[in-house]
Structure 1
């Protein structure tokens, strides 16, 4: 088992979790929320730092909650081509 430090962008927290393999950038992981429910998170960044003890490198993950379908739909609506295009003027 590999102990990985996870830095949660949404909650501004850090926690250590054990994995069989270090998740890669773009992969999704499930983390338990403080309310006891599971939530999906996307891995934004993976890096390694040398530990305080011995010649060991500790993996770190930077994660952000996966947007829900409603949030994705709202973002797509905001970018729809139906909006009026205003030319740039100097």
Structure 2
């Protein structure tokens, strides 16, 4: 396990977490929010600094919450916060999706 200092730009916090591998820039992480809920974060920056002891380089991460993960994102208009099953089965506008009725024609030169 690798201990990495994670600097959270969204909440302006720092904490040390253990990873099996060092995440790369652009990868996503699931981290626990201060309220106990899990949220997605994007890795903005990865760098290494030499430790105060020995010839060891310590990894550091900058992370920021993934856009659309913020509290009250798409469900802000739903006052009760309940899932509306009827709206999830609404098939209006289904013709806007791709049709698999026929094969795509090959490109002609």
Runs of 5+ unmatched residues, structure 2: 75-109
Partners of 2:8 and 2:45 in 1: how far apart?
11
Please provide the CA RMSD for this pair: 1.4
Runs of 5+ unmatched residues, structure 1: 72-90
Residue matched to 1:59: 59
Cα-to-partner distance string for 1:16-57 (whole Å, 9 max, x where unaligned): 000000000000001111111001000000000011111111
Aligned pairs, how many?
71
Rg (Cα) greater in structure: 2
Higher fraction of strand: 1
Residue matched to 1:40: 40
TM-score normalised over the length of structure 2: 0.62
The structure, 1 or 2, with the larger RCO (C-alpha pairs under 8 Å, 6+ apart) is 1
